[in-house]
């Protein structure tokens, strides 16, 4: 089922990826061979950002109750243009219609053993910028995350373990990505954090900035 975003665009599922950047893999290093993981990952490690998390530019992201800080992880999403199953790496990018900046907001948790529903599925935790038509060369892009105007993280997409075409080929090898779905290229774990009233911006050259503000849990106007 597809839902309609506030911008009036139809949206599909958003699939996220971890452990697709060399820095995180290098940092975790030997820990990935220890319990509970036992061995480094073989297949792409995916998670789902469900519909209740989807938000747009300018969104206020409310802290989950009891949380003072959230992690804000920058990435770029591949917007799928046609239903895609078992793509060949050589032609995989033909299935991509567009690219969009994403800030994946989460509760910090160093463990990636269990599916991150509590950590990554709270309302509004997947703000996404507008989609631009796909152009090749995403590995040359740099993601800059700013909190209150100060650059707190900078990441080059030249660090991808699986470049876009290979990631698409491997993911669609076991599941269909449908037209309108988004597969992002992966987030670095242990990213920058932000708290109530912080303004977070993701800048990627060629894209409009993605701006969000973190809002205190109590700011919702909940009845006492």
Which residues would be at the binding site for other proteins (CB under 8 A)? 1, 3, 13, 15, 18-19, 36-39, 41-43, 45-48, 50-53, 64, 85, 112-118, 121-123, 174-176, 178
CB closer to other proteins out of 22 and 199: 22
Torsion, Cα of 216, 204, 4, 84 (10° steps): -130
Provide the β-strand partners of residue 183: 15, 78
CB of 143 to other proteins, least distance (A): 22
CB closer to other proteins out of 114 and 199: 114
CB of 58 to other proteins, least distance (A): 20
CB of 32 to other proteins, least distance (A): 9
| Three-class HEC string of 110-179 | CCCCCCCHHHHCCCCCEEECCCEECCCCHHHCEEEEEECCEEEEEEEHHHECCCHHHHHHHHHCCCCECC
Asked if residue 88 lies in contact with residue 99, where contact means CB atoms within 8 angstroms, the answer is no
CB of 119 to other proteins, least distance (A): 9
Provide the β-strand partners of residue 214: 61
**Distances 155 to 42, 136, 164, 191 between C-alpha atoms, Å:** 24, 18, 16, 10
CB closer to other proteins out of 10 and 85: 85
Gyration radius (Cα) of the chain, Å: 17
CB closer to other proteins out of 45 and 60: 45
CB of 118 to other proteins, least distance (A): 5
CB closer to other proteins out of 50 and 163: 50
């Amino acid at each position: 089922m597809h839902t309609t975003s506030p911008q009036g665009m139809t949206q599909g599922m958003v699939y996220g990826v971890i452990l697709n950047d060399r820095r995180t893999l290098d940092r975790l290093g030997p820990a990935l061979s220890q319990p509970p993981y036992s061995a480094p990952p073989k297949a792409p490690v995916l998670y789902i950002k469900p519909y209740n998390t989807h938000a747009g530019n300018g969104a206020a992201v409310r802290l989950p109750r009891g949380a003072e800080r959230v992690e804000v992880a920058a990435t770029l999403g591949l917007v799928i243009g046609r239903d895609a199953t078992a793509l060949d790496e050589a032609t995989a990018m033909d299935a991509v219609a567009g690219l969009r900046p994403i800030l994946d907001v989460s509760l910090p948790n160093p463990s990636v053993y269990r599916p991150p529903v509590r950590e990554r599925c709270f309302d509004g935790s997947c703000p996404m910028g507008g989609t631009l038509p796909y152009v090749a060369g995403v590995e040359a892009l740099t993601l800059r995350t700013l909190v209150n105007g100060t650059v707190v993280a900078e990441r080059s997409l030249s660090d991808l373990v699986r470049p876009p075409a290979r990631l698409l080929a491997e993911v669609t090898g076991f599941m269909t990505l449908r037209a309108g779905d988004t597969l992002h290229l992966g987030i670095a774990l242990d990213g920058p954090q932000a708290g109530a009233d912080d303004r977070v911006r993701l800048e990627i050259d060629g894209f409009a900035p993605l701006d969000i503000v973190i809002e205190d849990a109590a700011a919702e106007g909940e009845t006492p």
